[in-house]
A and B are shown apart, each in its own frame.
Chain A
Amino acid sequence: MPVINDLYTDGIAAGWKVLDAATLQDGDTLEADIAIVGSGAGGATAAEILANTGYRVLMLEEGALYTAAHFRDMDEFRGYGTLYQEGGGRTTSDGAISIFQGRAVGGTTTVNWTTSLRTPDKTLAHWAREYNVKDIDAKTMAPWFERAEERLGIAPWAMAPNRNNALLRDGCEKLGWAWKTIPRNVRGCWNLGYCGLGCPTNAKQSMLVTTIPEALKRGMTLVHHARVETVAFGQHGVAGLQVHALGADARTPTGTRVNVKARHYILAGGAINTPALLLRSEAPDPKNLIGRRTCIHPVDATLALFDERVDGFHGAPQSIYSDHFLWPEHGVGYKLEVPPLQPILTTGLFGSYGEALVRDMAQLPRAQVNIALMRDGFSDDTAGGRVRIDDAGNPLLDYELGDALWHGLRRGLLSMAEAQFAAGARSVRPGHLDARDYTSWNEARDAITGLSMQKQRVTLYTAHLMGGCPMGEDASRCVVDSHGRHRETDNLSIFDGSIFPTSIGANPQLSIYALIARNATRLAETLKA
């Protein structure tokens, strides 16, 4: 008997309806009251609420079902290869920005680093003002944040931060910059550090171990390896979904196709796959808005070496952040955090090869990395990117960085390096092809000021996909209304990160949980009427 119950083995034995799409009959039709496409933060939050209300819910997930039983090896190669979009290799269309996005039952919540921050009040106010989003003020949203925090065990991390995080805190402290402890969605966390590869102890309160099991107990049907190819738009709204079963690799279609019929349809595939599905389906889009203004919190990084061991591969990956630079009077604001430092992720951060990489990797336990997340989407010169599809309907994300973002990214490098030297770093290297290890703040400042800020030379990441189907009452700018209902199609809702009108300025998961709980609760009431 394993020490950790993976939940699904017992659940399925007890009658949970969990199906592999490849086992369905070609041409079958699955029926439900509500069909949900996607099993991440948005889809699963809605599923629990709707199943608890008594609706027959059908959840479709293109990724595979992996549970704690698969996560016990805490192996990076297995984790990225099985749990992430494109095996962890997803990038923007030009390859310039690496995209970390989940693709499995539980979506990105299965692999995120557990950071659970509320939507900043200023962001909510911006959405109300600029997009005429209703019922989004901080007071209206507070109970929804509280509900999600209670449901998912979200609380400031009570254990000591690991050294990687503590050094960010120390740097901020020395410089007089504000910093805070990160609230995490965990219960009984073992403080191992492998959240990004699937939690092996079920401590992370991801959708995989919370809302999805709860909805399954209430009779929901979960079909994995089920890629929704198109949404059929008819005279009276959505007429159905066409689903392609995927093989064991969760990539190659088996040839089995099934149809889905429901009273109401919810798209929750995330801010790349939902807009792509709508574009592939030629969804009504009179203002040509779908897929536009996709925000990503562009991230750059600095890698510091310390004399003492940091061991950034162990311990809760994110427990300290600083918003000291998030809301500047001028220019793009950014948040400071750290990433976990297991070997594969860190080879990319070193950015070296040959004997230089050998020397760098030998220093892995002494490495400390800061990341700066740019708050994009709040001004016309940081209006985000665009999701489009290729001839075969595959999603592509174009994302251009203008002067404003490059300026923010450079200031981010400066802040991070300054904090690292303040914390006692012996050297700091920005993630940039022209950078090297600088041994003093003065040297680093001069060098970073002179770096050529351009794509492919700066090492860039994103783990936060937001926008493409913005919400609000301004019909000229919004694809869905303030509660996620599609403006043109009565029986269609979009319940995922794609409805944010801008980036959030915080890691998105708690924003999605709260907003979608609000929207799904309203939908449950509306459909009853």
Chain B
Amino acid sequence: MSPATAQGADLDRRRFLKLSVTGAATLAVLGGSAQLAGCAGRTEAPATGHVFLTAADVALFRALLPVVNGSALPADDGIRTEAIRRIDLTCAALDAPARAEARKLLDLLHWRVFRRLACGFSADWSQASAEELNHFLQRWRDSKLGLFNAGHRALTKLTAVGWWSQPASWSAADYPGPQAWAVTALNA
């Protein structure tokens, strides 16, 4: 990144910090104003084997997986890796405008200052405690700002889909899957 861009980004961050007290700038930033250009420009390439998620995004969703899915999520790393793969595919399937919105949200969440102000913790995602992450989700759910509610919905939905779309989750939902007789007949 060029020094000029870095400076621009810092200015934008300072302006953001100043205004975020009122919440108005938070709305503007989350709403996708040009203020984020500096931040968005820093997005890393997708992590190896992924289409959309960066290594930082993977860490974020890995942290959220057990918080959103609670004790239903097995400790099995294979399940979690598969959940991340499913979250990646779900994001990648979005059209460009929604993908850009998801990218903006994730980039904000990777920014420590934003986390401290808006999420209530500043640790890295991989270091945040379950309590901090729970508190963050609750805070965004209870917020009066629709855009935080939207962020809550997007993060919890994606993270829930990662696990509850896997057949391994069905027993926790007392879901038998498609009728066995039909599966047998159709695949005979």
Contact code string A351-384 (vs B, CB < 8 Å = 1, else 0): 0011111100111110000000000000000000
When the two chains form their complex, are residues B146 and A86 in contact, meaning their CB atoms are under 8 A apart?
no
Interface residues of A: mostly helix, strand, loop or mixed? loop
When the two chains form their complex, are residues B67 and A90 in contact, meaning their CB atoms are under 8 A apart?
no
Contact code string B93-104 (vs A, CB < 8 Å = 1, else 0): 111111001000
- A78-104 interface (Cβ within 8 A of B): 81, 85-91, 93-96
**What's the nearest-Cβ distance from chain B to residue A83, in Å?**
11
Q: Is A200 an interface residue (CB 8 A)?
A: yes
Q: Is A433 an interface residue (CB 8 A)?
A: yes
Residues of B within 8 A of A358 (CB): 69-72, 172
In the complex, A251 Cα to B167 Cα: how many Å? 27
User: Residues of B within 8 Å of A, CB-based: how many?
Assistant: 52
When the two chains form their complex, are residues A348 and B173 in contact, meaning their CB atoms are under 8 A apart?
no
Specify which of B94, B146, B165 is in contact with A343 (CB 8 Å cutoff): B165
Q: Is B76 an interface residue (CB 8 A)?
A: no
Closest to B155 in A: A353
Specify which of A348, A364, A395, A456 is in contact with B174 (CB 8 Å cutoff): A364
When the two chains form their complex, are residues A361 and B165 in contact, meaning their CB atoms are under 8 A apart?
no
Q: Is A122 an interface residue (CB 8 A)?
A: no
- B141-162 interface (Cβ within 8 A of A): 141-142, 146-147, 149-150, 153-154, 156-157, 159-161
Q: Is B49 an interface residue (CB 8 A)?
A: no
Q: Is B182 an interface residue (CB 8 A)?
A: yes
In the complex, A91 Cα to B154 Cα: how many Å? 11
In the complex, A86 Cα to B156 Cα: how many Å? 18
Closest to A347 in B: B160
When the two chains form their complex, are residues B98 and A91 in contact, meaning their CB atoms are under 8 A apart?
yes
User: Residues of A within 8 Å of B, CB-based: how many?
Assistant: 56
- B100-144 interface (Cβ within 8 A of A): 101, 134, 137, 141-142
When the two chains form their complex, are residues A347 and B164 in contact, meaning their CB atoms are under 8 A apart?
yes
Interface residues of B: mostly helix, strand, loop or mixed? helix
When the two chains form their complex, are residues B97 and A396 in contact, meaning their CB atoms are under 8 A apart?
yes
When the two chains form their complex, are residues B98 and A77 in contact, meaning their CB atoms are under 8 A apart?
no
Contact code string B156-187 (vs A, CB < 8 Å = 1, else 0): 11011100111101101111011100110111
When the two chains form their complex, are residues B173 and A343 in contact, meaning their CB atoms are under 8 A apart?
yes
**What's the nearest-Cβ distance from chain B to residue A97, in Å?**
11
Closest to A315 in B: B179
When the two chains form their complex, are residues A200 and B186 in contact, meaning their CB atoms are under 8 A apart?
yes
In the complex, A88 Cα to B71 Cα: how many Å? 27
When the two chains form their complex, are residues A89 and B97 in contact, meaning their CB atoms are under 8 A apart?
no
Q: Is B5 an interface residue (CB 8 A)?
A: no
Residues of A within 8 A of B68 (CB): 353-354, 357
With A81-B89, A347-B160: A394-B141 Cβ-Cβ less than 8 Å: no
Specify which of A95, A343, A457 is in contact with B164 (CB 8 Å cutoff): A343
With A344-B165, A456-B149: A89-B90 Cβ-Cβ less than 8 Å: yes
With A3-B185, A347-B157, A357-B69: A364-B89 Cβ-Cβ less than 8 Å: no
With A74-B183, A344-B165, A357-B69: A313-B175 Cβ-Cβ less than 8 Å: yes
Residues of B within 8 A of A354 (CB): 67-70, 134, 137
Return 5 A-B CB contacts under 8 Å, by A number: A90-B95, A94-B150, A354-B68, A390-B96, A392-B96
Top 5 A-B pairs, shortest CB-CB distance:
A87-B93, A456-B149, A74-B178, A77-B165, A456-B146
B residues apposed to A, CB below 8 Å: 67-72, 86, 89-98, 101, 134, 137, 141-142, 146-147, 149-150, 153-154, 156-157, 159-161, 164-167, 169-170, 172-175, 177-179, 182-183, 185-188
